[in-house]
Structure 1
Amino acid sequence: MAGDTRIWTPIDYDAVGKQSDCLRLPHSSDLSAYGWIPIPLVCIKNGDGPTALLIAGNHGDEYEGQIALSNLARETQLQQVSGRLLILPALNFPAVVAGRRVSPLDEGNLNRSFPGNAAGSPTEMIAHYVCEVLIPMADVVVDLHSGGRSLHYVTSALVRPGRTSDEHEKLLRLMRLFGAPISFVSDGTGGGGLTTLAAAAQERGALALTTELGGGATLSREGLALAEAGLKRLLKDQGILRDVAVEPASPTRFMTVKGHSAFVYARDRGIFEPAADIGEEVESGQIAGRIHFPDLPTREPETLFFESSGLVACRRAPSLTDRGDCLFKLMADIDVSSDRALHA
């Protein structure tokens, strides 16, 4: 399958050394018939050992991971590495340049496009290359996200449920090492399900960790600091950066998202007035917010309620909202010492 990809790079993944170049994504346009779009890539390989695939910019309007990986790529020297680091701080480069969640080339949402298509749209070609070339080299995959333009998120890490109890325990251990204040097990409800990078990595046998480091298309200092420290802890544990100095991980709170009742959606177009903040504990039946209608000033605002209890994991960032927009997502505590966590 690797031979089917239309993306190419001068980087030799098996060569010892620190290489910095890019993937070439073919794209033919009015002004560039045989052109390509760069996707920045750093490969650092030194001797035998595991491979870590580190990605940010899967969505272009999420910034903590882009900076954290750029810093790591710049600071890491060849002699520090045992094994291989593959660093892509701007995977969906067209979206990164545009500051958008989706690609301006094809309106593709990369984290809803896996496993991709070698002969498809630009976004599908990127997803296919990641699935068929990069992930098969990796023992562990970290995909750094935040809430982007539309959501403010609690600083957190997440994994998909392990397919076996052994795999699940390894994933929980990754979250403990990463050290986010909140770690949650997600089955993709409300998101991409099996079409995400994490799902593709798991399908191909790699351990995959995702994050939510902030939101609102701004930069969270807390999220950036967590990304940098958490990555170093994971890489040291994997034996890839053995001599790097790390701070101990803080305790993490294990949670999950329990189905569609954990979400609050807008039912009409208007101005959203939230009644809860991220990180707040709320109860079923509590007022979540109101939708106001400035075009109909005598119309009463629509009041929305939480259907379940839990911690507010994310809240819509823009005040203007439309029918179907996600306003809130809640998380509930889980007992990771039991099998319930596996099937959450």
Structure 2
Amino acid sequence: MSEAPYLTFDLDTPGVSRGHLVIPGGTDRGELSLPVFSLNKGEGPRLLVTGGNHGNELEGPIVARRLIKWLPEAQTCGRVIVLPVLNPLAVEAWSRNTPLDGLNLNRIFPGRADGSVTERIADAVSRVLLPMADTVFDLHSFGPTWDFPPAATTHPIADPDLMARTVRMAEAFKLPLTLVWQHNDTAGMFDITAQNQGKVFVCTEFGGGTVGADNLAIYEAGVRNAFIALGLIEGKAEYPTFRQQKSGQTLETRPSDELKSPAPGIFEPRCSVLDEVKQGDLVGILHPMDSLSAESIDIRAPETSIVLAVASGAHVEADKVVALVARPLKK
């Protein structure tokens, strides 16, 4: 059994290579082999594309596999590495976290070589693949209980030059939304690890986690636009059509933009994503289910803003987020 993660092929080999990233076994389970695709066309950008970070977000792995089909004919320079499924154990279980150890892969980077299986996956990606890239696209969706527009996202970055380059890269996807997302739950995220190394990292959030032909077409078009912007392929970038519109906007959101449920119950949305709301406008209604005499509770916008995400009719506990709002990014 190997003591260190490794690739079964040489990334410097010209042309197409296919093989595996081998994750060493541990006390919790044996060795894992994650399929990896590489296309090396010499000098140029070095891009890593990953999907399946969370196992219940399935658009990313599908779009990643689609890239593999058309890249050999389209790519003109540089090197692209595609790892369609970062966490196969979670994908197989359709679970956000790894069932074996209960960990969220996107909260334990850079991982541990002597840790549990999720930590070993993060360690392998951090040590073997991340050093080989200058830019990273991590393909997510927002999860199965949310309505969220196709978006390219990042977090605030202390380095102003890296921040500017990252926002430009995110905007190059030309998705309906580019989002700078400030929230407190960032420890151990893949993008923080990459950004600390000076790499441009864009996390795409592909809607609400329901795989459909129209949404997949939007997501693939956005990724293709980003490849064009990097100079990896030729072509003309265009905004994909989302809800009869071809446009994009760049927003920012803060922890205070989370609208939370004041009590347990069923949340009923009363607005749609990307709606503009004014202070006091109705965003949704919380219906308590533990008492027939309890009044339903209106949840209203705290200020003029744009609806970023709404929980899709889910039962929620008290103090859980039911909607997010945002506002235009101040550059």
TM-score, scaled to structure 2? 0.88
For 1:234, which of 226, 236, 257 is the aligned residue?
Answer: 226
Distance between the aligned counterparts of 2:108 and 2:3, measured in 1?
15
Q: In the aligned structure 2, how far is the partner of 1:171 from the partner of 1:119? A: 32
1:80 and 2:70 matched = no
Q: Distance in 1 between matches of 2:168 and 2:190?
A: 20
Output aligned runs, 1:155-304, within 5 Å.
155-187=150-182, 189=183, 192-215=185-208, 217-241=209-233, 244-249=234-239, 251-257=247-253, 259-304=254-299
Decide whether the 8 Å contact of 1:194 with 1:200 is kept in 2. no
Question: Secondary structure of 1:214's match?
Answer: coil
Which amino acid is the alignment partner of residue 282 of structure 1?
A: V
Tell me if structure 1 keeps the 8 A contact 2:153–2:203.
yes
Hey, what does 2:44 align to over in structure 1? Answer: 49
| Aligned residue identity for 2:232 | I
Q: Does the aligned pair in 2 maintain the 1:278–1:314 contact within 8 Å?
A: yes
Identity of aligned residues (%): 30
Cα deviation 1:14-62 (Å, max 9, x = unaligned)? 22232222223344689xx7x3233221112132332100111111111
d(CA) in 2 for partners of 1:130 and 1:275? Answer: 41
Contact 2:49 2:80 in 1 (8 A): yes
**Equivalent in the alignment of 1:61:** 56
Aligned-CA RMSD value = 2.4
Distance 1:110 1:145 in 2: 12
Counterpart residue type for residue 16 of structure 2: K
* Residue 263 to residue 41, structure 1, CA distance change in 2 (3 Å): same
Q: CA deviation at 1:326?
A: 1.6
Q: The residue matched to 1:77 in structure 2 has which SS?
A: helix
Residue identity in the other structure for 1:218:
T
The worse-fitting range, judged by mean Cα deviation, of 88-97 and 290-299 is: 290-299
Determine if the alignment matches structure 1 residue 125 to structure 2 residue 120. Answer: yes
Structure 1 unmatched runs, 5+: 337-344
Amino acid at match of 2:226: L
**1:104 aligned residue:** 99
**3-state secondary structure, aligned to 1:296:** coil
Between the aligned partners of 2:278 and 2:34, the Cα distance in structure 1 is 45
Task: Deviation per CA, 1:286-319: give whole Å up to 9, x if none.
Answer: 3332322333222222333333331111111352
TM (norm. structure 1) is: 0.85
For 1:199, the aligned partner's letter is I
Which stretch shifts more, 268-277 or 68-77?
268-277
- Are the aligned partners of 1:161 and 1:168 in contact in 2 as well (CA < 8 Å)? yes
The offset of 1:82, in angstroms, is: 1.9
- Deviation digits for residues 322-343 of structure 1, max 9, x if unmatched? 123221011101233xxxxxxx
In the superposition, relative to structure 1, how do residues 120 and 284 fare at CA in structure 2: closer, same or farther (>3 Å)?
farther
Query: Any conservation in 2 of the 1:50–1:139 contact (CA below 8 Å)?
Result: yes
Q: CA deviation at 1:201?
A: 1.1
Contact 1:159/1:208 (8 A) holds in 2: yes
Q: Which residue of 1 aligns with 2:17?
A: 19
Query: Following TM superposition, by how much is the alpha carbon of 1:162 offset from its aligned partner in structure 2, in angstroms?
Result: 4.0
Gaps of 5+ in 2: 240-245
